[in-house]
């Protein structure tokens, strides 16, 4: 990869990468740090990366950096007990986006990451498997389980409107 290709990669993918990370960790400063770390790792390995695979390398690096960050944060924070009642939506909302974001935050990190890559960023199952390091069948299972949970959480459209 050349410097020009690196700069093009930054221009083309920085915003999408930031949105993906922010959607998963919900902290703007931490998301910026993770994106910056991903670009730094890419810069350090610029000679070993093909220009055509830069997007995949970048998202894979950022995904793994995010997972490390989440694991570190979980070790530091106290665990809170989740009750069955907290997993279901019972209030009425008029903003479907807010309802879906609340539901998305309740998903396990792995399901949240794959559903975000698929439905928000538009990646194929194969690309998600490559980015996350999961098998293709596991990606499909996580996406299916996440969608089932989101459907149950939202419930019928009458409850959302």
Give per-residue pLDDT as tens, 64-92: 888 888 888 776 654 555 555 555 555 55
Give kind and range of the element (H or E) at residue 12. helix 3-25
- Of 45, 79, 113, the one marking the end of a domain is 79
How far is the C-alpha of 135 from the C-alpha of 137, rounded, in Å? 5
Same domain, yes or no: 47 and 112:
no
Of 79, 96, 115, the one marking the end of a domain is: 79
**Amino acid 142: pLDDT:** 93
Domain span including residue 9: 1-79
Buried residues in 44-78 as b, exposed as e (16+ CB within 10 A): eeeeebeeeebbebbbbbbbbbbbebbeeeeeeee
Q: What are the pLDDT digits (tens) for 93-123?
A: 456 777 778 888 888 888 888 988 888 888 8
Contact (Cβ atoms closer than 8 angstroms) between residue 47 and residue 33? no
Q: What is the mean pLDDT of residues 126-131?
A: 89
Kindly state whether residues 70 and 109 are assigned to the same domain: no
Contact of 89 with 99, CB cutoff 8 Å:
yes
Taking alpha carbons only, the member of 9, 60, 8 closest to residue 34 is 60
**Number of domains comprising the chain:** 2
Whether 119 and 160 map to the same domain: the answer is yes
Using the 3D structure, point to which of 56, 79, 102 is the last residue of a domain: 79
């Amino acid at each position: 990869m050349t410097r020009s290709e690196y700069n093009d990669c930054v221009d083309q993918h920085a915003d999408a990468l930031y949105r993906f990370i922010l959607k998963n960790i919900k902290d703007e400063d931490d998301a910026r740090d993770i994106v910056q770390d991903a670009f730094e790792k890419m810069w350090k390995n610029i000679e070993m990366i093909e220009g055509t695979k830069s997007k995949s390398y970048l998202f894979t690096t950022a995904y793994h950096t995010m997972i490390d960050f989440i694991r570190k944060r979980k070790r530091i924070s106290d665990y809170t007990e989740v009750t069955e009642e907290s997993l279901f939506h019972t209030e009425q909302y008029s903003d479907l986006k807010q309802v879906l974001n609340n539901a998305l935050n309740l998903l396990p990190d792995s399901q949240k990451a794959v559903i975000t890559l698929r439905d928000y960023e538009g990646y194929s199952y194969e690309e998600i498997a490559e980015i996350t390091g999961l098998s293709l069948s596991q990606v499909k299972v996580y996406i299916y389980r996440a969608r089932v949970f989101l459907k149950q959480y939202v419930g019928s459209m009458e409850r959302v409107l």
